[in-house]
Amino acid sequence: MIAKINQLLEEVAALKAANAEELEALRIKYLSKKGAINDLMADFRNVAAEQKKEVGMRLNELKTKAQEKINALKEQFDNQDNGQDDLDLTRSAYPVELGTRHPLSIVRNEIIDIFARLGFNIAEGPEIEDDWHVFSALNFAEDHPARDMQDTFFIESHPDVLLRTHTSSVQSRVMEVSQPPIRIICPGRVYRNEAISYRAHCFFHQVEALYVDKDVSFTDLKQVLLLFAQEMFGADTKIRLRPSYFPFTEPSAEMDISCNICGGKGCPFCKHTGWVEILGCGMVDPNVLDANGIDSKVYSGYALGMGIERITNLKYQVKDLRMFSENDTRFLKEFEAAY
Ligand SMILES: [Zn+2]
């Protein structure tokens, strides 16, 4: 009896069926009431009592294996059927829910559009940078606080490698391989070692612009700033420049625009001054031009940079910076109509 079971086990393991009819024939041969396995079941009562346990187990194993094999073969045909007979080309498609563009992308694209109309080309660079492109080539002193671990993420095993703290590193990368006229806009993500709160994050986004050519003056810069502010925030927008300091520009300035929330009358957003700061700018320091292989005696240039989050806040009054990276679709849906 054991020998017979073993023989059937081998047969079952090797079963093949080319179509549903062959499969049905196999099912009848092995699993039907008059099938081979039921025949053995009928003989089971004649098995000697001391062998009943072992034979019973083997018999059950055979029955399970046969059922599994037939099922597996059946599934194979069912799947084939789904590909053929059940295909209904007239059935309506599953509804696809459309996503919305992220507010930072909307604003970034708007900024890029404005500068593209002025003839600026997009330039991009790596987020993982080296000290030279982020600091040294941009006239940062050896002991500048930005080089401190408190402000910048460094790679522990390579103190020369860091996450860029500004997109100015792209300016350096473009200048070192090209000669003026250079007119680029660099959008990208930057990283700072900051505690995360509603008003600060360890990463945010910047757009910087750089223009280097012969006879570029502060007047050119001011005109571009005014045009940008009015395109971005409306034709009535006023700008004002305050002297400031950046290592890579001289002279440097920060630009305020008339508060577009209160129209300049004063509100909590502008701290009742009627003005809000939106960007930093200045004439490229001659040291920066020379460090990047551009002759500062022949060429001059201006640079400006702004945080995309800051501009987005002004346009849409997003009060908590963290909302930008929480991927809450309810928040993102609010910008559906914005583009
Ligand atoms: Zn205001």
Neighbours of ion ligand 1 (CB under 5 A): 259, 261-262, 267, 269-270
Tell me the helix, strand and coil percentages in the chain, rounded to 5: 45, 20, 35
Q: Where are the domains of the chain?
A: 1-77, 101-332
* Burial class (CB within 10 angstroms; exposed 0-12, middle 13-18, buried 19+) of 163: buried
Q: Number of H helices and number of E strands within the chain?
A: 11, 10
48 C-alpha to ligand 1 centroid (Å)? 99
85 C-alpha to ligand 1 centroid (Å)? 67
Would you tell me how many other CB atoms lie within 10 Å of the CB of residue 253? 23
| Average pLDDT along the chain | 88
What is the CATH number assigned to the segment(s) 101-332?
3.30.930.10
What average pLDDT score do residues 13-30 get? Answer: 86
Give the residue ranges of DSSP H helices in the chain: 2-13, 20-31, 36-43, 52-84, 103-117, 131-134, 168-177, 218-233, 286-291, 308-316, 329-333
Out of 100-104, 112-116, 155-159, 289-293, pick the least confident: 155-159
133 C-alpha to ligand 1 centroid (Å)? 37
198 C-alpha to ligand 1 centroid (Å)? 20
250 marked ligand binding residue = yes
The band of 138, judged by pLDDT with boundaries at 50, 70 and 90, is confident
257 C-alpha to ligand 1 centroid (Å)? 10
Distance in angstroms (rounded) separating the CA atoms of residues 220 and 218: 5
Q: Which of 180, 205, 183, 182 is nearest to 192 (CA)?
A: 205
Quick check: helix, strand or coil at residue 153? Answer: coil
Q: Which of 319, 315, 320 is nearest to 107 (CA)?
A: 315
Share of the chain above pLDDT 90, in %: 43
C-alpha dist (Å) from residue 15 to 69, 74, 80 = 8, 12, 19
pLDDT at 80: 63
Residue with tokens 């054991």: 2
1: tokens are 């009896």
* Digit-coded pLDDT (tens) for 99-131: 788 999 999 999 999 999 999 999 999 999 998
The residue with greater pLDDT, 260 or 62, is 62
8 C-alpha to ligand 1 centroid (Å)? 88
What average pLDDT score do residues 85-110 get? Answer: 83
Asked if residue 259 lies in contact with residue 253, where contact means CB atoms within 8 angstroms, the answer is: no
235 C-alpha to ligand 1 centroid (Å)? 17
222 C-alpha to ligand 1 centroid (Å)? 23
321 C-alpha to ligand 1 centroid (Å)? 19
